[in-house]
């Protein structure tokens, strides 16, 4: 006879489905229903508008750039926190979670101030004729800041579970450090690493608060899609705002689907190897 691990919660599945219905499915359904009031012609008019396309391009490529940076340096930070012991390690570990606790608007204002042409850090970039604040580069900076914890916290526990004996066995067989990482460690953490990458990208795609203060919000240059949505809401164009939201949702869904398929394929390759 099968017994539930959590006794007394036979309706857990029903509660879970009800929760997902109220929190996820109903808002998403309302989003699509509101967009449907435009009709296909109206939706296409919004989706193909030059300003909307430009904002989507800026949003997608800056999100992809920030997620890629976090994928690399997030892995390095997770490696340092797991494999090394040093003074102040707990403080560094706590700093990783700072973007979760810090209001995004505060982060945006702080970054814009620091990297402005006359800011503490921006003045040195300005001396090299590099402008950070109020440019797409500033958007990438803000998105990198808010996305770092997703990669670190996803990879860190998996990396900690990799047995040191496996690495020692590979080293005893003559494998170098890079070979051990490439053939032993990285395949073990790859699914978690891809998950962190996907989460960082999805989080960056919908970010608003930290970006608007450092982006400059110049149409066709540094304007992001969430800002256009807010502008349409202020004009009471709810259908137009939801149309842009649907486009961003579809982009996110395609990316997450591709990552999940890649995870499934790498897991299958690992099982058959």
Three-state secondary structure of 220-241: CCCCCHHHHHHHHHHCCCHHHH
Q: Return the pLDDT at 6.
A: 53
Handedness of CA 211, 214, 218, 220 (dihedral sign): negative
Longest dimension (CA), the chain: 74
Every domain of the chain and the residues it spans: 50-272
Confidence at residue 16, expressed as pLDDT on a 0 to 100 scale: 81
**pLDDT for the residue numbered 58:** 95
Tell whether the torsion through CA atoms of 80, 203, 189 and 61 is positive or negative. negative
pLDDT at 185 (0 to 100): 83
Distance from C-alpha of 114 to C-alpha of 117, rounded to nearest angstrom: 9
Element of type H or E holding 207: none
Model confidence over 184-231: pLDDT tens digits? 788 888 888 988 998 899 899 989 989 999 998 898 999 999 999 999
pTM of the model: 0.86
* pLDDT at residue 56, as a whole number: 94
Confirm if 143 and 211 have CB atoms less than 8 A apart: yes
- Please report the pLDDT score of residue 93 as a whole number: 92
Average pLDDT, the chain: 86
- Contact (Cβ atoms closer than 8 angstroms) between residue 104 and residue 209: yes
Identify the CATH number of the domain defined by range 50-272: 1.10.3720.10
Q: What is the mean pLDDT of each run of 10 residues along the chain (273 residues)?
A: 55 78 86 89 92 94 95 94 89 91 89 91 91 93 94 92 74 73 83 90 90 90 92 91 91 84 72 60
CA-wise closest residue to 135 among 249, 58, 31, 73: 58
Which conformational region is residue 22 in: left (phi greater than 0), alpha (psi within -120 to 50 degrees), or beta? alpha
Say how far apart CA 57 and CA 178 lie, in whole Å.
36
């Amino acid at each position: 006879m099968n017994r539930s691990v959590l006794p007394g919660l036979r309706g857990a599945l029903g509660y879970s489905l009800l929760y997902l219905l109220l929190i996820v499915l109903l808002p998403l359904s309302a989003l699509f229903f509101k967009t449907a009031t435009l009709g296909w012609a109206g939706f296409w008019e919004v989706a193909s508008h030059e300003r909307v396309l430009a904002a989507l391009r800026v949003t997608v490529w800056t999100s992809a750039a920030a997620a890629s940076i976090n994928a690399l340096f997030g892995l390095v930070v997770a490696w340092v926190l797991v494999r090394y012991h040093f003074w102040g390690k707990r403080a560094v570990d706590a700093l990783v979670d700072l973007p979760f606790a810090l209001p995004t608007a505060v982060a945006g204002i702080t970054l814009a101030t620091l990297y402005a042409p006359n800011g503490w850090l921006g003045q040195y970039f300005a001396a090299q004729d590099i402008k950070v604040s109020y440019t797409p580069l500033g958007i990438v900076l803000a998105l990198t800041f808010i996305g770092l914890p997703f990669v670190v916290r996803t990879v860190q526990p998996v990396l900690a579970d990799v047995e040191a004996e496996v690495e020692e066995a590979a080293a005893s067989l003559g494998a170098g450090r890079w070979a051990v990482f490439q053939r032993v460690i990285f395949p073990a953490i790859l699914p978690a690493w891809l998950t962190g990458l996907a989460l960082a990208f999805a989080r960056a795609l919908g970010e608003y608060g930290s970006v608007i203060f450092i982006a400059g919000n110049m149409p066709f240059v540094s304007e992001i899609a969430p800002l256009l949505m807010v502008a349409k809401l202020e004009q009471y164009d709810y259908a137009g705002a939801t149309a842009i939201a649907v486009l961003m949702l579809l982009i996110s869904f395609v990316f997450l689907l591709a990552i999940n398929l890649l995870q499934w394929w790498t897991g299958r390759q690992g099982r058959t190897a």
